Structure 1
Amino acid sequence: MNNKAFLKNGELTAGYINETEINTQIVAVYEVVRLISGKALFFEDHFIRLQRSANLLGFELKFSALTIKLHIEKLCKISDIHTMNVKVIIQLAQEQIIYVYFIATAYPPDYAYKSGVKCNFLSIERPNPNAKSVGVNFDIRQKIEDRLESNQVFETILVNNTGIITEGSKSNIFFINENKLYTAPNALVLQGITRAKVIELAASLKIEVEFAEITATEIAKFDAAFITGTSPKILPIAQIDSIKFNTENNTLQQLMDAYNQLINSYLTNT
């Protein structure tokens, strides 16, 4: 296994990529895709979001879904890595450049899906949260990483300038009360792929979803909470700051089971 290489416009380059250089040179959009046994999970949804992010920044994506997928497959074959997260960055300019490379991947341990994880709040607001861009959010990312490390929590939950809970630093967040889901309005968050799947699954399971502006002072009224994302999938929250939640909530367990079945179905049929 060798992840000391990356692709630039489909050409192999030895060594680790310098993300800082990419992030500061020019505005770029990116996606992190989870590979399972060499298959890019929900790749079609990631491509659509790449296009949307580019459009929000005033650009048209010049790379097709097929081109990007072939680049990912080429990197897998060269590196002999088939289960890991891969990052796709596209610099947005007249001559667009695409980078594809593996990133350090840490999936939650099995016990975390039962006991849940600890989180905390951080007052910070991303500009243009609907666009998954690297150049604009690099400084914010550094502040979040520092906060995660100093507080020894799994995830930091962001609160915007008006006190509304928006999303996690690398995830989206849901709350549960009386078999009903609550999450921030779409306009306030990066609309995650896993988040969208949860909303679709909730509809199929007849679980109501409310898009609500929830403040950090209100969370004690909820029975359960969870984050969603490429790496954590659906992960129960045990605690945010001093407020504790029920990690065995029936609605939460129902959604976790349904999401795992969705993944298995996608991998089987792709």
Structure 2
Amino acid sequence: MKECIYSKFILDGRVADCEHFHPVLINEGISLYEVIRVIRGKFLFADDHIKRLINSSRLARLNIWYSEDEISEMIRRLPDLNRISEGTVKIVFNFINGKKHHFLAYFVPHLYPNHSDYEYGVKVITYPFIREDPNKKIWQPGFRADVNEIIQKKHVYEVLLVDENNLITEASRANFFTIRHDKVYTPPADKVLPGITRKYVLLICKKNNLAVIEKDIHVNNLKEYDAAFLTGTSPKVLPIAIIDHLNFGVSNKVLRLLMDQFNRLVEEQVG
């Protein structure tokens, strides 16, 4: 699968043809990255994503060489350059031996949930993997290739990452939540990549006086929960119907409230 799609991308501040894109540009060295969803030509929560990218650089002790405004200005050229109004844009700062190497911004392949996924939920499976320094968003091509292969082979939407203590931390591209007795549970922030969608879901919970409990979620305790869902750039708020062989309620009232209010927030942002 091609990494850079459509016709144009940004390379070190200049417009380049996607035919000249090569994976080595992001696979060598260390690549800090973000992905941002584009809806009707507008970038969703772009400022949040760019700020998180800058935070990743601080945690990794790597200095990015463009300002927030410069990054924003460059990526906002992509929809018009490619005549695309819907999709996902990836931003990458690549470093070789700790020194700046390349900046890239481009549209990547995406697979958004369909109406049936939101209505009936998706199937996910658990997968043993420990993400080092989860608060930093660093590109790991080997991990991504392995996960994509498992997802295709098992015919599931996502995998939930499980650590050495059988605790679920997050999904490969999303954060993980459960619901029990109208209370919302999610793994502690220091053990996951603090997602932008996660942030807004937590704000919606607060607005609606829903209790949120950050706690470890053990695989063996999943059966205690009424519902489960993913949050992320592509899935937004997505119900989980099955984890391994356990079934979860996809019509849970708290889950549906969160889905509805997040969708309203998205419309406010891009409307």
Q: TM > 0.5 between the two?
A: yes
**Residue 121 of structure 2 corresponds to residue 113 of structure 1:** no
Using the alignment, how far apart are the partners of 1:199 and 1:126 within structure 2?
23
TM-score by length of 2: 0.94
Q: Which residue of the other structure, out of 141, 144, 148, is the alignment partner of 2:144?
A: 141
Shift in Å at residue 139 of structure 1?
A: 2.0
Superposed counterparts of 1:25-174, under 5 Å? 25-92=28-95, 93-134=98-139, 137-174=140-177
Aligned residues: 264
Q: SS of the counterpart of 1:12?
A: strand
Identity of aligned residues (%): 32
Equivalent AA in structure 1 for residue 249 of structure 2: N
Equivalent AA in structure 2 for residue 254 of structure 1: L
Using the alignment, how far apart are the partners of 1:222 and 1:11 within structure 2?
50
Superposed counterparts of 1:106-255, under 5 Å? 106-134=111-139, 137-255=140-258
Unaligned runs of 5+ in 1: none
Cα RMSD after superposing both structures? 1.3
Contact residue 183 and residue 211 of structure 1 kept, 8 A: yes
Using the alignment, how far apart are the partners of 1:5 and 1:247 within structure 2?
40
- Offset from partner CA, 1:108-152 (integer Å, 9 cap, x none): 111111100000000111111111011xx2222222112111111
Equivalent AA in structure 2 for residue 100 of structure 1: A
Unaligned runs of 5+ in 2: none
Q: SS of the counterpart of 1:60?
A: coil
Q: SS of the counterpart of 1:175?
A: strand
**Residue 18 of structure 2 corresponds to residue 18 of structure 1:** no
TM-score by length of 1: 0.94
Using the alignment, how far apart are the partners of 2:257 and 2:229 within structure 1?
13
Shift in Å at residue 94 of structure 1?
A: 3.6
Using the alignment, how far apart are the partners of 1:61 and 1:181 within structure 2?
36
Shift in Å at residue 91 of structure 1?
A: 1.3
Task: From the superposition, tell whether residues 219 and 173 of structure 1 become closer, same or farther in structure 2 (CA, over 3 Å).
Answer: same
Contact residue 204 and residue 261 of structure 2 kept, 8 A: yes
- Offset from partner CA, 1:72-131 (integer Å, 9 cap, x none): 122221111121101111113443521011011111111111100000000111111111
Using the alignment, how far apart are the partners of 1:146 and 1:23 within structure 2?
20
Q: Which runs of structure 1 show a deviation greater than 6 angstroms over 4 or more consecutive aligned residues?
A: none
Using the alignment, how far apart are the partners of 2:102 and 2:69 within structure 1?
16
